[in-house]
A and B are shown apart, each in its own frame.
Chain A
């Protein structure tokens, strides 16, 4: 599994290789900032790519939640990613990833204020991101109320992961890779 350019220890390669298309992802990672990412990874250098670079990847740049995604997957919570974070992100976003895992991360993504509950404010933020602020305030309020009404099983005014999963596993779209032609 030798790579002519990059250097990893055999174990590293071994490990990475078995569940992510590692070479490709690493080159993607490195291409984002060739000057930052060293070729020699045997000593596990402490390299982080800033959010600006991560968010500009074609996979993310059109995504309304790109900042949240980067934040959730980065260890520092600010969107700056190490190689491991990066692989993590792709692993979860890949279609090989299981439902529960995706739901878990989706919950974190929608949980804007990181309080482990999706509250009304989170919903409003999500909705505004989804619709680019094109709904009126009344409509936003109404939709958020409806969502709360539908999903909040314990009536505590916020969605826990449990509520979220309960809703999401029933969604027809969930995990059905409806590919919008591009």
Chain B
């Protein structure tokens, strides 16, 4: 709670303790009334019994006469009042004549109550424990919310003098007085305000409904009456309207939240997985979903800016050679086996690079397709890079490792994890599972923290493990290198002389490594005894390194192929040119004319080059497809079939299959994440050569989401040690970024250095692909932009720019280091503060008044015997800080009084010298304002506080 509140709370609690202790039976509404009452005056019988300081007594005296007169006046109008009461309940009537009556009635009522109370109070004082605590709380709430606090108090004080006169006046003139004086009006307004506040805050109070109703009735009646008197009776309606709107707003907000949650795709599925398998498995699915979103955007770019324009505005299929299947292949072009191999029609379709025409603009819109193709191809990388980095930054902001969740991790889990809105058995089951899982996760974390053993041994083991793994990695790297080299040698030999093994050696070795190494790593990692979360990171990193070999061989093979194709293309290009030249010379010599008609060849019959870009694209698409197949089959066999066998063979098997050897599969987080990441790398690399690949990948991710969710829920069992994923998926993201960078390199390399095929694709006929940009700058943009471009690419400018960036990098790095350090320091400080607080509490000397008061809210506290000794309020503090200001009005209104007390209570020295025996408990619980300890003081704290007692006893 904010400190400002605290003070008020304290004030109130004091007040309550004194006055309200005993009032429970007479109805909760008295609470509210009391305040109004306080402000007006105190009943004389009480006053006499109270031990009060002199100056306050004087104030009381001032108050006294008007009050009595007020009563007299009231007595006169009593009858009419009762009639009115009926009317008022039905509807408000604002006749000015009645206004004054009403007011008086209220005054009368109060004074009557007062008398009752004061009689009752003493008797009940000792019994009541629950009541004060509750009321206290109510009071706190009230005060918290009341906006007017002290300012208005001053007003009241000012007015109090006036008011007394007014009441004399009005009582003197009897019920005829039609108008209220100004002071009265203001006072009334304040009271009405207060009542309204009470109504507003009523629901915040831990009362039984019965009490609330009574209280509410009182307050409402009061407000009605006096609002009527003040001529503005809309208060309640307005209030009702406000409450309604507030409710509507909250409901709307919740619905909107629900709607937002419902809009997040697969949120429910993932939550379900999370509740059974823990956040680590869920993190894979979240990553998958994120990837899906990214790919959807990439697909949007590719499809909207490249594929659709070509389909809609470009030349149709069969119009030019590059869009036509060659005649010899046409026979088999529609065979399924060919199509599945992405040959035939597939190869000459919009899915691949070769299909696109090199016309500078197409269609009525003059869409520059080649330019768009290049920009989208590069833009995909740009966008992905941006998104990945932004996500990483945001995740880093969200903070940390997921381990430090504050000081109350377990307590929060214990007390706040159940969602009271759950009203559906299935959701409840999930919630139970998720709570259990999260407890287990935290337990694992905690065990990890508590573990302390031989640090040297562990360090040694870790070094050893890393050594083994490096050996394995090195060995497999060499194996890959060796195999690739051999395959290059084999490529030069005639294919027919090679055995099946020799042909597929690379693939064989690669998949063997992929099969053997990850489990090996896992076994070795057990030496290290890392926390499973950290172990997962190591595992990911190691397998990643292994897979890099995969990537390397693949790219190596690809570049070999591309180079071969480029050679091949050159010869075909030369042959084509020669053929054309021949045709021209023959034609001109034969017809003896220079006006040679263009060669009329069917597009299907045209000579064509190998079009290496399409070949590369096909490679990528094939790889992706085979990856999908392998993944899905692995799940089907490795998880589903295994689960089925284990489940059903268990009935007739020698040992317990479920608990014993094969058991059910666990979800392989590292393998799946890496599979996803490398697949994405393929997409990035291949998208430039096969625009359709992105669409394919979107489909894959979509199906994989459902498929894997199903597989996990039906065939897998949770990990043995369920561990919490780090809240940020930044490790995944970092790997992804690395792969993105690695896949960026070959694509940019081909764009910048290799020359495009002469007869296919959007860049055909150009020396380099990027020339399309130059062309656009030269031809389509004003000259000065070309100039700017030239300057910008000047090395003299680029070098300083790079230098600047490096400097910025350095600076930002240093900055972040500094922040990190500051963060650490602050954390330490917080920890220290907490320890200190705990220590202080150990001494039973609570300094936090608010907490104390809340503590005292507990029912049955009053069963504890009252404190033997009262803490005398230090008079100095009282006088010094606030009392002077408050003095004048303190008698007139309860607030001032309470404030004063508050000050004394809140003062720093609660253990002042006890200079007085405890007062009689039966003493008037009313306002004890003097510096002397009164019997009400202990109560003033809000019931006997066990802490205080303990402390005093301890002394």
Contacts and interface: CB of A to CB of B under 8 A. Distances in A.
Nearest to A60: B423
B415 A181 contact: no
A87 B209 CA distance: 7
A171 B420 CA distance: 15
Interface residues of A, number: 73
A97 B410 CA distance: 25
B857 A161 contact: yes
B258 interface: yes
Interface string A104-124: 111000100000100000010
Contacts of B406: 170
Nearest to A130: B435
Nearest to A116: B858
Interface in B105-152: 137, 141
B436 A132 contact: yes
B257 interface: yes
Nearest to A99: B204
Interface stretch (B176-184, B798-806, B837-845, B915-923): B837-845
A173 to B, nearest CB: 4
A123 B415 CA distance: 9
Contacts, number: 206
A179 B216 contact: no
Interface string B163-191: 00000000000000000000000000000
B855 interface: yes
B553 to A, nearest CB: 46
B278 to A, nearest CB: 14
Given A10-B89, A100-B141, A155-B842, A84 B423 contact: no
Contacts of A166: 851
Nearest to B214: A15
A53 to B, nearest CB: 16
A126 B417 CA distance: 11
A179 B440 contact: no
B2 to A, nearest CB: 12
> Looking at chain B, what size class is its interface with the partner chain?
35 or more
Contacts of A162: 846, 851-852, 854-855
Contacts of B423: 58-59, 61-62, 182
Contacts of B435: 130-131
Interface string A80-96: 00011101100111011
Given A14-B220, A135-B439, A161 B854 contact: yes
B247 interface: yes
B411 A147 contact: yes
Nearest to B257: A179
Given A19-B202, A19-B203, A177 B418 contact: no
Which of A61, A95, A126 has the most chain B CB within a 10 Å cutoff? A95
Contacts of B431: 180
Interface string B390-420: 0000000000000000111111101111111
Given A15-B217, A123-B414, A132-B436, A146 B855 contact: no
Interface of A: 10-12, 14-16, 18-19, 58-59, 61-65, 75, 83-85, 87-88, 91-93, 95-98, 100-101, 104-106, 110, 116, 123, 126-127, 130-132, 134-135, 139, 142-143, 146-147, 150-151, 153-155, 160-162, 164-174, 177-182
18 contacts: A62-B427, A63-B428, A84-B208, A88-B208, A93-B420, A95-B250, A97-B203, A100-B204, A116-B860, A131-B435, A150-B408, A155-B838, A167-B412, A171-B411, A173-B417, A179-B421, A180-B422, A180-B427
Given A62-B427, A139-B439, A147-B411, 18 more contacts: A11-B89, A59-B423, A62-B425, A63-B428, A97-B204, A104-B206, A106-B415, A110-B415, A130-B417, A134-B436, A135-B439, A155-B838, A155-B842, A168-B411, A173-B416, A177-B421, A179-B257, A181-B427
Closest 4 CB pairs of A and B: A84-B209, A162-B855, A62-B428, A146-B410
Interface of B: 1, 89-90, 137, 141, 199, 202-206, 208-210, 213, 216-217, 220, 236, 239-240, 243, 246-247, 250, 254, 257-258, 261-262, 267-268, 271, 406-412, 414-425, 427-428, 430-432, 435-436, 439-440, 442-443, 446, 837-838, 841-842, 844, 846, 851-852, 854-855, 857-861
